[in-house]
Amino acid sequence: MSRPGRTFYEFFAGGGMARIGLGEAWTCAFANDFDRVKSEAYRANFADAEAHFRQGDVWNLSADDLPGRADLAWASSPCQDFSLAGARAGLAGGRSSAFFGFWRLMEALDDGGRAPRLIVIENVSGLLTSHGGADFAALGAALASRGYRFGALEIDAATVLPQSRPRVFVIAAREIPAGLTGDSPFHTRAVRAARAALPEELAPQWVWWRLAAPPARNTDLAALLEPDADVRWHGPAQTARLLELMGPLHRARLASRPGRAVGAVFRRTRKEEGRSVQRAEVRFDGVAGCLRTPRGGSSRQAIVVVEAGAVRSRLVTPREAARLMGLPDSYRLPATATGALHVAGDGVAVPVVRWLARELLEPLLGPSAALAAE
């Protein structure tokens, strides 16, 4: 009879991208998300979801809902208005107070002798600097209070995918085997500053996790796009409007393209002469800007193709967004474009999780029971 491999809980699971990144050697013992659209996507893609997936507020869960003792607890908690510093009561009701809903479960598991061996908290890079570093210090203090040592890595998905998507991964462990600490290209300036800003009593709990850079990315944005004939293009007026939103520098980038060139366009609000002005910015480096959830049309990225002096434009399709997150084409997206982009834009890049798991998380845990039995 086969023995289980490594097990994990996935909180704020979304469409299950962390699970896909961890891979088949990992067994999901429990997963949770509050959002209906994401929950439906999770159920559509994992046949065993009914056995372990719970839709609903993390605050409504108890330790009794979590089976066994997992090797890993993964939490990609909401990033909006992230705040950990200050009284818990002051965070109640806020989206980012969901972290404490997760953390009280970890405390309860620990009280019952079932604390996960590893904890990974994934969030936007702003976690490192929020409230002058006080939020990151509060997170570290919570981890240290339960005997975990912790460190952070800032990884841009552009390392492995043609999408600029920097994210912070806080990895916490109680046991640290030799050879897993040292220098890393993911000890960015922001990570080093966050470490330097920790209170003196927390400094000894910090770990400089060693994580080498993965092999160089060998694909670009153009390689992930649908064929021109299979997508809906903007009309001339829409393209002209997009070009009007570009400043002189970005229009010059369009004019200087030889042959066929594919660019990614993102609309942003910039301050110009004291006024807030919407601008369209284009890049031709083969990398898309960071995908976001489609809260209004301005947050959805566009594609421009320059060929023989002509410019065409269109929106990024849901399937292209999924590919930019490292999801396979077999992944079942929600039927609506808004739903599909919501799932993709609010997820974690699959290949980043796989690299982190292979190079750090799995070595931290040692051989799984299944591997040890072989």
For 284-315, write each residue's pLDDT tens digit. 999 999 998 766 444 678 999 999 889 999 99
pLDDT of residue 371: 43
How many residues make up the chain in this entry? 374
Q: How many CB atoms lie within 10 A of CB 330?
A: 6
Cα 78 to chain centroid distance, Å, stands at 10
pLDDT for 295? 60
306 in Cβ contact with 263 (< 8 Å): yes
Q: To 10 degrees, the CA torsion angle through 13, 17, 18, 19? A: 90
Q: Contact at 8 Å (CB) between 142 and 88?
A: no
Residue ranges per domain, the chain? 6-216+345-373, 227-316
Radius of gyration of the chain (CA): 22
Record the pTM.
Answer: 0.92
**The pLDDT of residue 95:** 43
What pLDDT is attached to residue 37? Answer: 96
Tell me which residue of 102, 118, 134, 220 sits closest to 170, measured CA to CA. 118
Distance CA 335, CA 35 (A): 16
Please tell me the predicted confidence (pLDDT) of residue 188.
98
Cα 214–chain centre separation: 17
* Structural fold of domain 6-216+345-373: Rossmann fold (3.40.50)
pLDDT on residue 318 = 95
| Structure-token match 């809260």, residue found | 295
According to the model, what pLDDT value does residue 274 have?
81
Max CA separation in the chain (angstroms): 71
pLDDT tens sequence across 22-57: 999 999 999 999 999 999 999 999 999 999 999 999
Give the residues of the chain that fall short of pLDDT 70: 1-4, 79-96, 294-299, 368-374
Question: Nearest Cα to 212, choosing from 182, 169, 188, 171?
Answer: 182
What pLDDT is recorded for position 79?
64
Query: How, if at all, do strands 275-283 and 302-307 pair?
Result: unpaired
368: nearest Cα among 50, 183, 118: 118
pLDDT attached to residue 90: 32
